[in-house]
Structure 1
Amino acid sequence: MPEGNHSIVTEFVLTGFPGLHPEYQGIASVVLFIVYFLTLTGNSMIIFLFAIDHSLHKPIYYIILNLCACDLFFSTTTLPKIISKYWFQSGTISFTACFVQMYFVHYLGTVNSYILFLMALDRYLAICHPLRYPLLLKNSTIYILSISAWIVAQAGPLMLVIRAYPLPYCASNIINHCYCDHIGITMLACTDRAPYGFPAFVLAMVTLLGPLAFIVFSYCSIIISVLKIANVQGRLKLLSTCSTQLIIIALYYLPRCFVYLASNVGITFSADARIVIIMLYSLCPPMINPLIYCLRAKDMRESLWKQFSRKPIPQKAQVSAISN
């Protein structure tokens, strides 16, 4: 009998934080809502600034624009459902909707990794090859690379869904997580998970470590180039231009690498601790990134200041100008 013919699960149940006491669920939902609200507000503000200020239409800010869009989509894919679980006791998600959410979780995570790769490429060319930078990385080049990242990233997550969807799910339908992901779903399949789990692990490593390898190479090259500069002030200025990207990259990669390494060296976490760590590295960077852009990126900071420092023309002055 084909495996897909005896799956009796029609919906899944997201537990959220399994060990969370009922009296703290309201607080957890409020915290998640605040995170979602700040993520929407911050990233929408960056997109708004980019739309109205043509001085931001540079390669690095096109890359940041892609990162903001990715962060918005990821937070919207994951947070509303878990918030509704705690607010309206609506923790169930249909069979198909869970796989749709799983696809977008892994797809947007892949896109995010590729965008960080482009960010490192931008800084590498700007500092290590400054004379060739305007020729190698034009706005049109960023368009092509960005679109390619969004298209290429679809392949892996789509393969995961196609392979996992027909599996027989005939036991528990409870997912110990705040959203549907490949591990959470396939752990519930009534079959050997190894043929499905290993390719997913390899894909995750390629997606994570491939861009990370270039990022490490690029920043090592940047450090070597900076050390060759005799002027101390020049060194500090160049390092300052990279600090924003380094913070963003560290927020994305370091917690993920820690979780993967910990699981492979035998360090185990409780279900709640694991979910908290995953939620922190999944949801905090999208919330914090806009703040980092505005505080560290000079053009973004100046653009934001111009919007807030605009003073409306007094009505009397307007009338006087019209009458003249």
Structure 2
Amino acid sequence: MPELNRSTVTEFILTGFPGLHPEYQGLVSAILFLVYVFTLTGNVTIILLFATNRSLHKPMYYIILNLCTCDILFSTTTLPKIISKYWFQSGTISFTACFVQMYFVHYLGTVNSFILFLMAFDRYVAICHPLSYLIVLKNSTILILSITAWVLSLPTNLIITIRAYPLPYCASNIINHCYCDHIGITTLACTDRAPYGFLAFVFAMIVLLGPLAFIIFSYCSIIVAVLKIADIKGRKKSLSTCSTQVIIISLYYLPRCFVYLSSNVGIRFSADIRIVIIMLYSLLPPMINPLIYCLRAKDMRESLWKQFNRRIIPQKTQVSSINKL
């Protein structure tokens, strides 16, 4: 297919939720806007708590800091465009901008997977090898591993994007999704996408199943180690330190595995249901994670309570002084 044909597509159109009735578009956009606000508020609060409380400067919270940063960036990459589609009927996105969005969607997804791997590794060392924890997982070690996760995710996603960009896009320019992703874009190419899709699929499986395999191994090892603890209170304490991460990891991996496996065993969904599932596992975890940290992590909960008291007590003191006058 000649390269000239690619120029016939200069922009893409995001359908959002294809079967959504116009009278519900305002409601859906309001819900997405609230999700974005709650995501930003929750994750920025966690980052500020980390920055203002030295008691949180521990390996586990450095990992959570990376996860919060990744969640903010992912939500900012995907949500504003789909919100503007329903608010301002602006569903078009330029050719280049769509590929930029695609790159960051997959890049941040890769980083997120690696960060969850670090989270499981932290708990594995803490419970299965507690005497080595302070030696193996120092703050400097976590910093190096976190930087490695962000850097290693750069080239592979860039290669996939660069390979997809020059394909001849000369047919439809409608993407049945709320944001640009590799499958949504390359299926519109006027050429055989198999060589490009296969590479992307293999990489996605490595990124998804590689960390997931270690996560499953680590938590199986943790369960075995906990069952060897004679003290019941000790068992509960050990399990409670993992419960937060199990919830976060489950929210990230289970829906993704369900979508990937169902598509390969012949289970078919309507476009609307598939998009809703993808949006749920893409956007709900970034919004819910900060709430889980604050409710389940004792140090985080205490830090939040201290910050709350610092703001409330001066106000009460000021009101009392005014009343005395």
Partner residue, 1:86? 86
Please report how far the alpha carbon of residue 156 of structure 1 lies from its aligned counterpart in structure 2 after TM superposition.
Answer: 1.9
Q: How does 1:174-193 map to 2 (within 5 A)?
A: 174-193=174-193
Equivalent-residue separation in structure 2 for 1:55 and 1:189 (angstroms): 52
Aligned counterparts of 1:94 and 1:84: Cα–Cα separation in 2: 14
Per the alignment, residue 70 of structure 1 pairs with: 70
**Is 1:58–2:58 an aligned residue pair?**
yes
The amino acid across from 1:56 in the alignment is L
1:287 aligns with 2:287: yes
Q: SS in structure 1 opposite 2:130? A: coil
| 1:321 corresponding residue in structure 2 | none
**Are positions 1:172 and 2:172 aligned together?**
yes
> Partner of 1:12: helix, strand, or coil?
strand
Normalising by structure 1, report the TM-score.
0.96
- Corresponding position of 2:146: 146
Instruction: Note if 1:6 corresponds to 2:5.
Output: yes
Q: What is the aligned partner in structure 2 of residue 162 from structure 1?
A: 162
| 2: CA distance, partners of 1:200 / 1:316 | 61
What code does the residue aligned with 1:246 have? V
Structure 1 residue 5: deviation in Å? 3.1
Gaps of 5+ in 1: 319-324
CA distance in 1, matches of 2:318, 2:198: 68
- In structure 2, the residue corresponding to 1:39 is in which secondary structure? helix
The CA distance in 2 between the partners of 1:174 and 1:91, in whole Å, is: 10
Within-5 A mapping of 1:31-50: 31-50=31-50
One-letter amino acid of the counterpart of residue 180, structure 2? C
Structure 1 residues 231 and 185: CA distance shift in structure 2, 3 A: same
Letter of the 2:73 counterpart: F
SS in 1 for 2:50: helix
- 1:83 CA drift (Å): 0.1
Q: Deviations over 1:241-267 (max 9, x none)?
A: 000000000000000000011001100
Report the alpha carbon displacement of residue 4 of structure 1 after superposing the two structures with TM: 3.3
CA–CA distance in structure 1, aligned partners of residues 318 and 190 of structure 2: 72
- Whole-angstrom distance in 1 between the partners of 2:98 and 2:155: 19
Q: CA RMSD in A?
A: 1.4
TM-score where L is the length of structure 2: 0.96
Aligned partner (choices 310, 314, 317) of residue 312 of structure 1? 314
Gaps of 5+ in 2: none
Partner deviation per Cα, 1:183-209 (whole Å, 9 max, x = no partner): 000010000111111111100000000
CA offsets, 1:45-97, max 9 Å, x none?
Answer: 00000000000000000000000000000000000000000000000000000
- 1:225 equivalent in structure 2: 225
Residue in 1 that maps onto 2:202: 202
Q: How many Å apart are 1:6 and its aligned residue?
A: 2.1
Give the Å deviation of 1:25.
0.3
Give the Cα–Cα distance (whole angstroms) in 2 for the partners of residues 21 and 272 of structure 1.
12
Are the structure 2 counterparts of residues 316 and 237 from structure 1 closer, same or farther at C-alpha, using a change threshold of 3 Å?
closer
Residue 121 of structure 1 corresponds to 121
Change (3 A) 1:175 1:302: same
